Structure 1
């Protein structure tokens, strides 16, 4: 009988996905390309759990957005779509080192499957589905809110991206276009921290820190607008 690797079980528990029965977690982490040798035919992949997890994620985030303010339906939908997108799921998957634990076939792994936004996003949703099977909605919702905390409190899906807003501000004030520079990178690859500085000649500079270069640029742009805008 196939079992989770000890390091994968420990990772799941540390990430907030408490493991009781191993079966749904094995399924959630298994890509269709995975070759289990003689038992390959019995290896279920993540697609059914992804279907379930996608719905649980959507409901959880929609409930959070509803309680968070009184924005009109159109803006709520815009934020919801951004927060549950494949790109957001993949970004969170990277932040928690999910790529290290996906069960991929040899060719799929060599082709970069462990860093594919599509695969990472799907597996993240499948893990949410597995959590729902094991622990129900409320416990799974709480894990989602923990993993999505930075995204929920950030600007995902809001009307104007800070970098776009800063570029428009610079043009409107007849200033040079913003220049972004990574001035520090620290931490291991699976938990890296980037510090990005944005500058506009003749105005000033501001910095942002985040777990990805793009997120740090966004925070730097937001900080610049708050200080000089």
Structure 2
């Protein structure tokens, strides 16, 4: 029997859905139809965060809270999940609205969301223990470099620690604009250090990404006077 696209995805996921409707829902982008996958994404995001936290706590007893937090953030971030989804050719199965082409940050966000929704579907069908096994297997490729995540500090953290070292309060982040349709939303944020009369802008597909971009630019401005 020829392998169908759904079967190929399930093989890479390591789980065979008992109910095709659950899998279809997990792969339905909000631009395609109602209901879409955001409720399943919510569930999958929760179990993913718990499984990763439990694995890190068990595997790295010598790490402090900061290292555990950074490692977890690196594993569950949108970029990591989108890369996993891409390796499974999940994008070929994603159901989006007619005429809509997801690119760049919007595509990355959609892939990550669909993967989390699939995990949510597994929780509903087979329970958290099965979902845990699937997640641990999917993330196995990242374990050899997990210490890189643990030791890496994002721009917002680096900026705040730098200001603390100078006896200054944390920077302020101000949302300036939010433009575009829901699936291609772009945000612009300004990061300010009033005490030093410094500021920088950053843009991104989410407020969080825009804040990180603004913090990175402000650090560069501080470094170069």
Note the alpha carbon deviations across 1:112-141, whole angstroms, 9 max, x for none: 389711111111100100111111111111
Give the number of aligned pairs: 148
Matches within 5 A, 1:83-94: 83-94=75-86
Alignment equivalent of 2:36, drawn from 41, 45, 49: 45
Matches within 5 A, 1:87-166: 87-109=79-101, 111-112=102-103, 116-155=107-146, 156-160=148-152
Query: 1:55–1:128: structure 2 CA closer, same or farther, 3 Å change rule?
Result: same
What 5-or-longer segments of structure 1 have no aligned partner? Answer: 1-5, 35-39, 162-229
| Native 8 Å contact 1:9 1:19 kept in 2 | no
Note the alpha carbon deviations across 1:4-43, whole angstroms, 9 max, x for none: xx72331233121211011211110001111xxxxx5xx4
Deviates more, 1:85-94 or 1:152-161: 152-161
Query: Aligned equivalents of 1:160 and 1:31: distance in 2?
Result: 32
Per the alignment, residue 7 of structure 1 pairs with 4
| Native 8 Å contact 1:31 1:45 kept in 2 | yes
Query: Aligned equivalents of 2:138 and 2:87: distance in 1?
Result: 9
Query: 1:113–1:25: structure 2 CA closer, same or farther, 3 Å change rule?
Result: farther
| Native 8 Å contact 2:6 2:93 kept in 1 | no
Query: Aligned equivalents of 2:41 and 2:152: distance in 1?
Result: 30
Query: Aligned equivalents of 2:43 and 2:114: distance in 1?
Result: 12
What 5-or-longer segments of structure 2 have no aligned partner? Answer: 154-225
Cα-Cα RMSD: 2.1
